[in-house]
Amino acid sequence: MSEHSANPSSTTATGRARAVKAVIPAAGLATRFLPATKAVPKELLPVIDRPVLQYIVEEAAQAGIGDVLLITGRGKTSMVDHFDRRPDLEARLEAKGDAERLAAVKRPSELAEIYTCRQPEQLGLGHAVGYAESHVGDQPFAVLLGDEFVKPSEPLLPAMLELQARTGGVVLAFFEVDPAETKRYGIASVAPAEAELTDIGEVVRVTGMVEKPQPEDAPSNLAVLGRYVLPGRIFDAIRRTEPGSGGEIQLTDAMELLRSEGVPVHAIVYRGTRYDTGMPLGYLQTVVQIAVEREDLGGEFRAWLTEFVNNGDETVTAAILNGVRDTAGGSGT
- Indicate whether 199 belongs to any domain: yes
**Could you tell me which of 69, 81, 82 has the C-alpha nearest to residue 115?**
69
**Could you tell me which of 195, 78, 201, 71 has the C-alpha nearest to residue 134?**
71
If asked whether residues 132 and 73 sit together in one domain, one would say yes
Label residue 18 by pLDDT band (50, 70, 90): confident
Question: What pLDDT was estimated at residue 211?
Answer: 80
- Indicate whether 5 belongs to any domain: no
Half-sphere exposure of 5 (CA within 13 A, CB side): 20
Give, in order, the Cα–Cα distances in Å from 170 to each of 36, 39, 53, 116, 300. Answer: 36, 36, 24, 24, 44
For the chain, what is the domain count? Answer: 2
Question: What pLDDT was estimated at residue 2?
Answer: 46
If asked whether residues 294 and 319 sit together in one domain, one would say yes
Residue pLDDT, tens place only, 242-290: 998 778 999 999 999 999 999 999 999 999 999 999 999 999 999 999 9
Residues in the chain: 333
pLDDT at 171 over 60: yes
Please state the rounded mean pLDDT for residues 177-189: 90
Pairing assessment for the beta strands 21-25 and 67-72 based on DSSP bridges: parallel
If asked whether residues 201 and 53 sit together in one domain, one would say yes
- Indicate whether 196 belongs to any domain: yes
Which residue type, as a one-letter code, is found at position 40?
V
pLDDT at 186 over 70: yes
Question: What pLDDT was estimated at residue 15?
Answer: 54
If asked whether residues 188 and 294 sit together in one domain, one would say no
- Indicate whether 22 belongs to any domain: yes
- Indicate whether 333 belongs to any domain: no
Cβ atoms of 306 and 317 within 8 Å: the answer is: no
If asked whether residues 19 and 48 sit together in one domain, one would say yes
If asked whether residues 210 and 257 sit together in one domain, one would say yes
- Indicate whether 247 belongs to any domain: yes
Question: What pLDDT was estimated at residue 330?
Answer: 44
Please state the rounded mean pLDDT for residues 116-132: 95
CA distance 132 to 314: 50
If asked whether residues 236 and 292 sit together in one domain, one would say no
Label residue 123 by pLDDT band (50, 70, 90): very high
What percent of the chain is predicted at pLDDT more than 90? 72
Q: What is the CATH number of the domain that holds 190?
A: 3.90.550.10
Cβ-proximal residues to 88 (8 Å cutoff; 6+ apart), any chain: none
Residue pLDDT, tens place only, 21-77: 999 999 998 999 999 999 999 999 999 999 999 999 999 999 999 999 999 998 899
Please state the rounded mean pLDDT for residues 84-113: 97
Please state the rounded mean pLDDT for residues 122-143: 96
> Looking at 233, 258, 276, which one is the last position of a domain?
276
If asked whether residues 250 and 287 sit together in one domain, one would say no
Question: What pLDDT was estimated at residue 185?
Answer: 87
DSSP letters, 56-78, are HHHHHHHTT--EEEEEE-TT-HH
- Indicate whether 2 belongs to any domain: no
If asked whether residues 227 and 300 sit together in one domain, one would say no
- Indicate whether 79 belongs to any domain: yes
Model confidence, pTM = 0.86
If asked whether residues 169 and 247 sit together in one domain, one would say yes
If asked whether residues 191 and 225 sit together in one domain, one would say yes
Question: What pLDDT was estimated at residue 310?
Answer: 84
Peptide bond into 35 cis (omega under 30): yes
CA distance 54 to 306: 29
CA distance 327 to 144: 20
If asked whether residues 170 and 257 sit together in one domain, one would say yes
Determine which helix (DSSP H) or strand (DSSP E) holds 267, and give its type and residue range. strand 265-270
Phi-psi region of 124 (alpha: psi -120 to 50; beta: other; left: phi over 0): left
Domain extent for 141: 10-276
